[in-house]
Amino acid sequence: MPRASSKSLVASAKPADEKITINLGCVDLGQIDLLVQEGFYANRTDLIRTAIRNQLMSHGDAVRAAVSRKTLTLGIQHFSKADLQAVQKAGQRLDVRVLGLASIAPDVTPALALATIESITVLGTLHASAAVKAALSKRIG
């Protein structure tokens, strides 16, 4: 059966930010609070977000090379019911590889997802119904 690249599907609007939890030592946290108090940053989140962005920029070449090597879609990849029905009608299956957000529409059934998605690798976040995630669980890498 032929395989289709997920890159041909349309990206959607920017989603809400994801929340993460980190553990910091009291000295690091105190220094962050001091920089916030001194007006360098609006709050702790602002400093942490800036620090992460600076690290990602400093490793930008390595990220771009890995994205290219692993044939990842960079950013947001949304799969609507119509997208997957078109893939199914064409007799194709998708190998989905996303760095960012992969989103499967809420009206996609587990059967349609199984019929059209051969594998799915997401470095970031996968938004899909619990039923679709459960159906694809053995195909999620």
Of the pLDDT bands very low, low, confident and very high (cuts 50, 70, 90), residue 13 is: low
Percent helix, percent strand, percent coil in the chain, to nearest 5: 45, 25, 30
For residues 32 and 47, is the Cβ–Cβ distance under 8 A? yes
Task: Please tell me whether the overall predicted TM-score, pTM, comes out greater than 0.75 for this model.
Answer: no
12-16, 18-22, 70-74, 128-132: which is most confident? 128-132
**Is residue 103 a contact partner of residue 10, using CB atoms and an 8 Å limit?**
no
Query: What percent of the chain lies above the pLDDT cut of 90?
Result: 74
| Domain range list for the chain | 3-13+61-139, 26-58
Predicted confidence (pLDDT) at residue 5 exceeds the cutoff of 80: no
Q: Measured between alpha carbons, how far is 108 from 129 in angstroms, rounded to an integer? A: 8
For residues 134 and 1, give the distance between their C-alpha atoms in angstroms, rounded to a whole number.
24
Q: What number is the average pLDDT over the span 54-76?
A: 86
Distance, CA of 89 to CA of 52 (rounded, Å): 43
Mean pLDDT, the chain, as a whole number? 88
